[in-house]
Structure 1
């Protein structure tokens, strides 16, 4: 009986050691962020994290009403650095629907929602301008991540201070600007942006 107990204890410690080694390896290689992001992706399938339907409807009504008093003009005075290190500006996207997403490679919820954003880009990319704004300390890190994942959307880094309208301590954060230059939607946290209702909402802002 004692021998069996010793064998069981030894096996348990070996299992703990293997789990610890896996955890250390994941953190050492930086892959823990992607593992956590993959786990959180399951939450997106529930739809509970998506922008509120009421919020979408209100934003849509505001965008379609020219004399609506509660419209907020988006701050277009923001310079961006593209992946080729060219400086561009939100002003150059004026007249288009703009999807802005603040993210970073070290942010698991950001990683979790990216496949849905890439699907969204494949669906509406010809009609909607995408500004995937990396907050990584080194832009090269974000570029390498995007290339490794094979995402098609363009990524940017701030070329100057982020305007107060988009400055937040919470990422991912997403902003949608309509074709008239109004801030149509602000959403904090991850979401499934490939949702048909959200796609319909974007098309309504043209």
Structure 2
């Protein structure tokens, strides 16, 4: 019996050591993000979007707040106002957020496939240290630019849930808010964005 107890103690010790190693090296976010990517693959977390939110002016959709000022990874100022007339995909995320990390590869593939003349991406980091987000983006080799807010984030784009994704159509209406991770790299979602031009 003592042998069995000793063996169990050693097994639990090894498991705790592995998880501690992930936590203290910062890899726990990456590992959890990888595991959550499997959940994304099921389609259970796909965003619900309204096929009728394109060109037709619909009074059900609020006018988007374009007052946000941004700073990109090169330190340049960008006014959200400059993006008016484009479809805007806004994703609020952080490097320490496993669901954010999980959805990033799909968002990057979406970014690669979308018409950049008609669509703008605002990958809005809420990391305390923006350099961590810059380093993360470089290490992962993602193609999209990342931003931090230069001032406050308008209440329309403030959420207690990370990640949160917003989509604004070309008429300047907020047509989608999706709290939590989602798979945006689907043909259906790409078609949806095209309908918003």
RMSD, matched Cα:
1.3
Does residue 39 of the first structure (1) align with residue 35 of the second (2)?
A: yes
Structure 2 residue matching 1:145: 3-state secondary structure: helix
User: Structure 1 residue 87: deviation in Å?
Assistant: 1.1
Does residue 111 of the first structure (1) align with residue 101 of the second (2)?
A: yes
Does residue 26 of the first structure (1) align with residue 22 of the second (2)?
A: yes
Structure 2 residue matching 1:112: 3-state secondary structure: helix
CA distance in 1, matches of 2:159, 2:176: 15
**TM-score under structure 2 normalisation?**
0.95
CA contact (8 A) 1:63 1:182 kept: no
Structure 1 residue matching 2:155: 3-state secondary structure: coil
Does residue 168 of the first structure (1) align with residue 168 of the second (2)?
A: no
CA distance in 2, matches of 1:42, 1:101: 20
Count residues in correspondence: 196
Unpaired runs of 5+ residues, structure 1, are none
Unpaired runs of 5+ residues, structure 2, are none
37, 46, 49: which one aligns with 1:50: 46
Residue of structure 1 equivalent to 2:129: 138
User: Structure 1 residue 70: deviation in Å?
Assistant: 1.9
Structure 2 residue matching 1:48: 3-state secondary structure: coil
Residue of structure 1 equivalent to 2:56: 65
**TM-score under structure 1 normalisation?**
0.91
CA contact (8 A) 1:175 1:186 kept: yes
